[in-house]
Amino acid sequence: LPTAHLWVKNCRELLQSSYNKDRLDQPLQASAWLKNFKISNERFLREIKTQKKYMWGKRESTEEGRPLGEVVDQGLARVRSASDAVGVVLKELKQQSQQGSFRLLVAVDGVNALWGRTTLRKEDKSPVSPEELTLVHNLRKMMRNDWTGGAVVTTLSQTGSLFKPSSAYLPQELLGKEGFDALDPFVPILVPNYSPREFESCYGYYLERRWLQHEKARTEDGKAELQFLSGSNPRQLDRLAGPL
């Protein structure tokens, strides 16, 4: 999941879940995830088969033993089913990875968004908690230490963290007690600043993608200034390059 915070803020459409009346679906966010997941894993989605039958309505279903890609296609074709389709995909992958069929990598950027507060409101203007969102509920299940056959790799986000002070940066501060306890035990990984070669590679990528539009950004002096101001820190370089 590239940016978990997009699931808990500024969602244009919230629908009551047909599966659980106490939860809310986010069809647009779910469809976007399914589309990206299909592009990245299309070959595997043809090989992995469903282990049970899933009903999408009175007349639509996915039979047991069908390619998991059909569940993805169902969610893309029927946006109302997209959130439930995401839940089915995650459930099947989690169960089957434990059987040794494949190795599963769960990667989430800004995982601290799954706990805490959202900017979303219900029809009665009351706040929506993350656990009430179908997508968040199902992704939280993937964070549990109750399965084998894969790994969970996450990052914490300072800039996308909602209702947290800008000075917060420790895992306990960004995750809160509930989130920290949910992920514990975990292995912290130190991410160092860019080496000279890594900075050069990232700088070249920004130029190639035309993310650096300022005329001086392409000069040696401009590159040196970016390296100095960012301290070769990946996040700082990204923030500096944004307005350029």
pLDDT in tens, 64-123: 999 999 999 999 999 999 999 999 999 999 999 999 989 999 999 999 999 989 999 999
pLDDT in the model for residue 162: 80
CA–CA distance, 225 with 222 (Å, rounded to integer): 5
Strand pairing class (61-62; 54-55): antiparallel
Residue 17 sits at the vertex; the CA angle it makes with 22 and 123, to the nearest 5 degrees, is 70
Is 84:75 a contact under the CB 8 Å cutoff?
yes
pTM, whole model, 2 decimals? 0.84
DSSP 185: S
Q: What is the pLDDT of residues 153-178, one digit of tens each?
A: 999 988 777 888 878 888 999 999 99
Mean pLDDT of all residues in 12-31: 93
User: Span 37-45, mean pLDDT?
Assistant: 95
Return d(Cα 138, Cα 136) in angstroms, integer: 5
Which residue carries 């998991």 as its tokens?
68
What tens digit of pLDDT does each residue of 187-219 get?
Answer: 988 889 999 999 999 999 999 998 898 888 899
Percent of the chain with pLDDT over 90: 76
Q: What is the pLDDT of residue 244?
A: 62
